[in-house]
């Protein structure tokens, strides 16, 4: 298993898609990196030499913000929005969608499971 930016990349995957396991690297970035280093996109992760793995690691750290550094940056951006009292910051605090989606219906991913409304209801019993 190759280890890049602290992430174990599955051996059986093609390197083109294996690199996407690193947070901040998508398919486009992965292809750009491999083309720059002249590594075949069809190679499997297990077929990479140690030299190639080191070259990929160096390229990612030099040219891209990835993994822990990227997560930290995103967290600080959200915290900044919350501190200045921006609308988006308030939405983040409340766990609601931040980009203008409707919340009367839908938005279950952000709001969580639906809660049952129990407000002074009596059960009807049959006699």
Residue 118 has pLDDT above 80, yes or no: no
Query: Is residue 2 over pLDDT 70?
Result: yes
Residue 41: pLDDT band with limits 50, 70, 90: very high
Q: Give φ, ψ of 97 to 5 degrees.
A: -60, 140
Given a cut of 90, is residue 116 above it in pLDDT?
no
Inform me whether the pLDDT recorded for 24 exceeds 80.
yes
- Is pLDDT above 80 for 72? yes
Query: What value does the mean pLDDT of the chain take?
Result: 92
**Is the pLDDT confidence value at 121 over 70?**
no
* CA 10 to each of CA 44, 46, 64, 107: distance values in angstroms, whole numbers, following the listed order: 9, 8, 21, 33
Average pLDDT, integer, range 25-33: 96
Select the more confidently predicted residue: 123 or 35.
Answer: 35
Q: What is the pLDDT of residues 50-64, one digit of tens each?
A: 999 999 999 999 999
Residue 29 confidence (pLDDT) above 90: yes
**Looking at per-residue confidence, does 57 or 125 come out higher?**
57
Q: Which domains, ranges and CATH numbers included, belong to the chain?
A: 2-63 (1.10.8.50), 75-127 (4.10.910.10)
Instruction: Please give the span between the terminal C-alpha atoms of the chain, in angstroms, as a whole number.
Output: 68
**Cβ–Cβ under 8 Å, residues 13 and 7:** no
């Amino acid at each position: 298993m190759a280890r890049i930016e602290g992430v174990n990349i599955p051996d059986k995957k093609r390197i083109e898609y294996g690199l996407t396991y690193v947070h901040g690297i998508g398919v486009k970035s992965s292809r750009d990196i491999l083309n720059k280093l002249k590594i075949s996109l069809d190679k499997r992760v297990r077929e990479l030499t140690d030299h190639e793995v080191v070259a990929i690691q160096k390229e990612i750290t030099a040219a891209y913000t990835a993994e822990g550094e990227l997560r930290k940056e995103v967290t600080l951006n959200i915290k900044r929005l919350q501190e200045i009292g921006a609308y988006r910051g308030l939405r983040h605090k409340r766990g609601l969608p931040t980009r203008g989606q409707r919340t009367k219906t839908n938005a279950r991913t952000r709001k969580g499971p639906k809660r049952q409304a129990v407000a002074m209801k009596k059960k009807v019993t049959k006699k």
